[in-house]
Amino acid sequence: MYIVYHDQSGAHACVIAAAIHLDQLPIDQIPSKSEISRIPLFNKLEKHQIGRLIFHGTDKYGNSVYTIGRKRSSQLVTNALQTVFDMIDGNKNQILCVDTSQENNRFISLGGMCSCRLGLTPLGDSLAAYGATRTYSRIAEIVKKTKLKIVP
């Protein structure tokens, strides 16, 4: 199965969800800001990567975990991915798109803006990581619900 976590930028809540899903971050406790900042791609995606599936790894059940940044086009991306599966004669039930955008808060957004638009990367990383600690338990809850849908 293919699990695709997605949000507007592809660099925050969905990247954290993928890390939790792959047991790179704990599901039952909030990590420190520095642990969150060390996640590959956290607050680091570039504009040209929006709309591209990024592979993060395979979970212990053999499911492939991806993220995608999709701006404000949640349904468009989900429909496109399912259509691609149809085109290649795949079973569209083998792809699960999980929206994590509701967990991107003001601190995360401000951090992303500072890093990407203003070039203030250290400040942006710190703000985004702080915001992530504030919403972390809700992201972990999304991952728990996702895992319940896919566990054999």
pLDDT of residue 117: 77
Q: In the predicted model, is pLDDT for residue 60 greater than 80?
A: yes
**Short-list 114, 22, 98, CA closest to 60:** 22
pLDDT of residue 71: 82
E strands, the chain, in order: 2-7, 54-58, 64-69, 95-99
Average pLDDT score over residue span 105-130: 87
pLDDT of residue 112: 85
Radius of gyration of the chain (CA): 15
DSSP 8-state symbol, 49: G
76 and 70 Cβ atoms separated by less than 8 Å:
yes
Q: Map out the domains of the chain as residue ranges.
A: 2-104+136-145
118 and 141 Cβ atoms separated by less than 8 Å:
no
Whole-model pTM: value is 0.90
Helices and strands in the chain: count of H runs, count of E runs: 5, 4
Could you tell me which residues come within 8 angstroms of residue 117 by beta carbon, excluding any fewer than 6 positions away? none
